[in-house]
Amino acid sequence: MSIKNILIIGIQGALAKITAELLIKTHPNIHILGVDSRGIENFSNHPQITFQQMKYNRTNFEKLFREHHFDSVLHLGRLGHSPAMGNIHKRIDINLVGTNTILELAQKFSTKKVVILSTHHVYGALADNPMFLKEDAPLRASFKHAELRDVVEMDQMCTNWMWKNQNQIETVVLRPANIIGPQIKNAITQYLKTPYAPIPIDYNPMFQFIHEFDMATIIVKAFDSLKTGIYNVCSDDIVSLHEAAEIIDVKKIKVPIIAVEQLARFLTPVWKFPLYLIDYIKYPSTLDNSELKKNIGPDVFRFTAKEALELLKLN
């Protein structure tokens, strides 16, 4: 579809900034309004991008939709679920209530397309996971970790709304594997780059990594090439956790898994280690990407997982 006027929610995030720059290059006539509840900084001035800091509430969003008549919305404003991202009540308010408001307003003001960024974490990391999880796999992340409840509920709310309104508005939900890159500061990147972070000597699950530029490319292509649906986002290649740590070449503490949680708690003053991550460095949570490749082709990824890790090491 032709994108002319797009709202990007969560513009202060590194991935949003990369995506906005790429959208301008690929859609020369586009205008982007980027909003965030955080202060907006470290972004080069560009005539096609307008920024606005605001509270995420219905009044503010309705004013935006009424004034700007967006043809597309990119929702990257989900709060992460590490301890550093605030309490569960704030995350539920933004992730669930805020997202529901955005979807309702997109429909009310006849937006043509909505792209929502979810995460592979919704599937959960469990011992009985299949080697490659398809999009119809159950979302089991919150069974053990209450701190993942809001992200699972947000994904379910978006997908239910998507199918209910598929004849009125085109909606795409992306569930990417681990996004890494020089500008990304998520939990897995912090874990890989933190010296002396514990790594289980008795577990070595397989991982999928996406370079930040490749993820931005997929988001842009979602507007042009992906129809209503849920899409796992990852390339074909996988690497083991131990191999990833060797590529990053940051000293780790190799201990039995039983000691990982204790060491993780010890590291809390230095880095807010999300305890749900322990399961993801113990059990597999790898994705089947056949649905994505069917729609955008197999050659969209510029960087292999190993190359993305090498570039992370240089940062």
For residue 289, give the CATH number of its domain.
Answer: 3.40.50.720
Residue 262, domain member (yes or no): no
Q: How do 113-117 and 198-200 pair as beta strands?
A: unpaired
Residue 202, domain member (yes or no): no
Helices (H), 165-304: 187-193, 212-225, 241-248, 257-266, 277-280, 290-296
Q: Give the number of domains in the chain.
A: 1
Residue 111, domain member (yes or no): yes
| Helix axis angle, 241-248 to 305-314, nearest 10° | 40
Residue 264, domain member (yes or no): no
Whether 215 contacts 180, CB under 8 Å:
no
- Residue range(s) defining the domain that contains residue 111: 5-182+208-237+285-301
Per-residue pLDDT 10s for the chain (315 aa) are 678 999 999 999 999 999 999 999 999 899 999 999 888 777 777 889 999 998 888 899 999 999 999 999 999 976 544 444 445 555 555 655 678 899 999 999 999 999 999 999 999 999 999 999 999 999 999 888 877 888 898 899 999 999 999 999 999 999 999 999 999 989 899 889 988 888 999 999 999 999 999 999 999 999 999 999 999 999 999 999 999 999 999 888 899 998 887 877 776 666 677 888 899 999 999 999 999 999 998 788 999 999 999 998 766
- Give all strands (DSSP E) within 140-285, no chain letters: 170-176, 178-180, 198-200, 206-207, 209-211, 229-233, 239-240, 253-255
